[in-house]
Amino acid sequence: VLSTDEKELIKQKLLTKILRTEENISDLKELTKPISPENAIGRISRMDAINNKSVNEATLRNAKQKLVQLERSLMELDSDSFGLCGYCGKSIELPKLLVMPENKLCVSCVKAKIN
């Protein structure tokens, strides 16, 4: 069970991350704007631009997902189940919660998932 201080630390961390992710999303939105065909940048550079655009679109999707997870974690912060592994129910170590507060799995379950 997390103490009030620990929750406050995690809350600050989440708020910082949410802010950073929102900035990231607005940058990526700028980068994924439609490429106008009249942009006289040549065929090759245009293909480059389109490739970069799809990479940025994928990054944008991930960033949006991350933002949803972060906001959900912030809402769940006061619930009893916060900080418990979503798979095995054991409490997640505080250092790990501070690095990735949106994380819902403990170390062993993450490893089990990867393998």
**For binding to Zn ion (CB under 5 A), which residues are involved?**
85, 87-88, 106, 109
Rounded (10°) CA dihedral 11, 13, 16, 17:
-110
Q: How far is the CB of 88 from Zn ion (least distance, A)?
A: 3
Give min distance, CB of 69 to Zn ion, in A: 17
Nearer to Zn ion, 67 or 83 (CB): 83
C-beta of 31 vs 100, nearer to Zn ion? 100
| Helix, strand and coil in the chain, % to nearest 5 | 65, 0, 30
Query: Based on CB atoms, which residue is closest to Zn ion, 36 or 115?
Result: 115
Q: Minimal distance in Å, beta carbon 72 to Zn ion?
A: 18
Residues 6+ apart with CB under 8 A from 76: 82
